[in-house]
Amino acid sequence: MNTDMVMAALNQAIADRNNPKDVIHHSDRGVQYLSIRYTDKMADSGVIASVDTTGDSYDNALAETVNGLYKTEVIEYLKPQWRDACDVELATLEWVDWFNKTRIHSTIGYVSPFEFERRYYDSLNESDKAA
């Protein structure tokens, strides 16, 4: 993985959330996440970095779960359909979009993570108006 790829993902996440401030971004200690470009972008955008503890697999449990789902649901399931790397990129893009914006989750009231997050920020805005 290189810095360009994670920079694109960070930029997309910031844009999708309308440039939020004081959100926490958790990552492992991969060099791409610790690069000057990446950390400067987070600082400029008001994103707070949270980096896992070296050698502590429990810090990265959620990321490993998501990676496992991706590998099962995209890589293994769709592999026979791919002609080239572009097909893999498109399948990945579609899966990430579905995972973040469409899939429903029982523990958050059977709404998508995107909808849950939108409702959360809407409630904060309503609280600000009431105060």
Mean pLDDT for the chain?
85
| Full-model pTM | 0.58
Q: Is the pLDDT of residue 122 over 60?
A: yes
Q: With bands split at pLDDT 50, 70 and 90, how would you rate the model's confidence at 1?
A: low
The terminus-to-terminus CA distance of the chain in angstroms comes to 45
Tens of pLDDT, residues 34-93: 889 988 999 999 998 888 777 666 666 777 788 889 999 998 888 888 899 999 999 999
Can you tell me the distance from the alpha carbon of 2 to that of 30, in angstroms, rounded to the nearest whole number?
9
For residues 41 and 7, is the Cβ–Cβ distance under 8 A? yes
pLDDT for 130: 63
Q: Is the pLDDT of residue 111 over 90?
A: yes
Domain edges within the chain: 1-51, 57-131
For residues 41 and 66, is the Cβ–Cβ distance under 8 A? no
Q: What are phi and psi of 47, to 5 degrees?
A: -95, 130
pLDDT for 25: 85
pLDDT for 40: 93
Calculate what percentage of the chain has a pLDDT beyond 90.
27
pLDDT for 41: 93
Q: Is the pLDDT of residue 109 over 90?
A: yes
